[in-house]
Chains A and B, each alone.
Chain A
């Protein structure tokens, strides 16, 4: 069975883990003039429930 020949150093471990980052979600203002809450693009607004001027979902 294949086994590691050398111990993985703390530095190498941390260097690898440092590359695992989060990215901020891209948000846009709701196109409803009365709402203007930030929301993900191409998604019905969670605050007012409208998309493209139509009421799609009931806001929570």
Chain B
């Protein structure tokens, strides 16, 4: 059973709350970012992210489930065609809430909720090296590398071709170098902190 939301309904009645959340989600997907009160933003975040998760699956059943909430078919199409594929690399955390100054009229705490536009760090790194990380595809890589090595050995026997062998070595060494650099950077940060203290 899902955990019930604590506190009173938005707007007063359950029906009013459903309508408000649906309208907030529709506005968020239309504009990409909306300014609203902090309480509404906090309630909207899980609601909107579940809709995006459904859109990422992209089949007819999920489209009908989303149409229960968002009545505008143009917005639903945008959700499936643009917003879903945009978050293909991201597993959750599709929206970001940033607090802003309280509203002038009633001093209500306000916030900006927006769809995250940046790519994830892992996605950018993978694009830079044009491969997936070793830990994700370790099993596949192991099986393919073995076959490659055998092929290379056969070729070496026939010809004195060093190029394929060196290429495979570089490919295997690159991830190891990246792993070494990260702890060094952390050590430096620690040293800086010690100096400050």
Residue positions of A touching B, CB distance < 8 A: 40, 42-44, 46, 51, 54, 56-57
Q: Chain A residues near B98 (CB, 8 Å)?
A: 44, 51, 54, 56
* Residues of chain B whose beta carbon lies under 8 Å from any beta carbon of chain A: 35, 98-101, 112
By DSSP majority rule, is chain B's interface helix, strand, loop, or mixed? Answer: strand
For the complex, give the distance between the alpha carbons of A44 and B35 in Å.
12
Is there contact, CB below 8 Å, between A40 and B101? yes
Q: What are 20 residue pairs bridging A and B, where the CB atoms are less than 8 Å apart in the complex?
A: A40-B101, A42-B99, A43-B99, A43-B100, A43-B101, A44-B98, A44-B99, A44-B100, A44-B101, A44-B112, A46-B100, A46-B101, A51-B98, A54-B98, A56-B98, A56-B100, A56-B112, A57-B35, A57-B100, A57-B112
Report the bound CA distance from A44 to B110 in whole Å.
Answer: 10
Complex CA distance for A42 and B109, rounded to whole angstroms: 12
Q: Which residue of A lies closest to B101 (CB)?
A: A46
CA distance A7 to B12 in the complex (A): 42
State in angstroms the CA–CA spacing of A54 and B101 once bound together: 16
With A43-B100, A57-B35 given, can you name 8 additional A-B contacts, CB distance below 8 Å?
A: A40-B101, A42-B99, A44-B112, A46-B100, A54-B98, A56-B98, A56-B112, A57-B112
